[in-house]
Amino acid sequence: MDIAHSCASGMNGLRAAGDLVVRMQMSQGMRIKEAKAFVADRLGVSTLMLSDPLTMHELRGEKRLGRVFESETTYFRDPSPIEAKVHIADLLGIPVNAATKLKAGLGL
């Protein structure tokens, strides 16, 4: 069920920029068109590119937003998930709960 919807209609999550768009919806209540435009603007790409795994894989690496990996393509220098969420919060200009808590714990 999940895989079928993901392939048929989804934005590819961490493989592309689906997680960033859904953050704007869940935390800010933005509708899809507005959320896509906002994220695309922050990333400096067109909205078409937001679902493109090739473009977004490279861009996520450059901006340290976290990305998928597999056995022959590893990214041990990439940020940890919580560090990635700090970068995501900064990029989108929204509070990300876990990132806010990490910063508070570090006194930042």
Residues that bind other proteins (CB under 8 A): 1-16, 18-19, 21-23, 25-32, 35, 47-48, 51, 65-66, 68-69, 80-82, 84-85, 88, 95-98, 101
Minimal distance, residue 107 CB to other proteins, in Å: 18
Which is nearer to other proteins, 44 or 48 (by Cβ)? Answer: 48
Minimal distance, residue 97 CB to other proteins, in Å: 5
Which is nearer to other proteins, 31 or 107 (by Cβ)? Answer: 31
The C-alpha atoms of residue 57 and residue 75 are separated, in whole angstroms, by 12
CA atoms within 13 A on the CB side of 5: 3
Give the DSSP letter string of 32-55.
Answer: HHHHHHHHHHHHTS-GGGGG-HHH
Which is nearer to other proteins, 35 or 59 (by Cβ)? Answer: 35
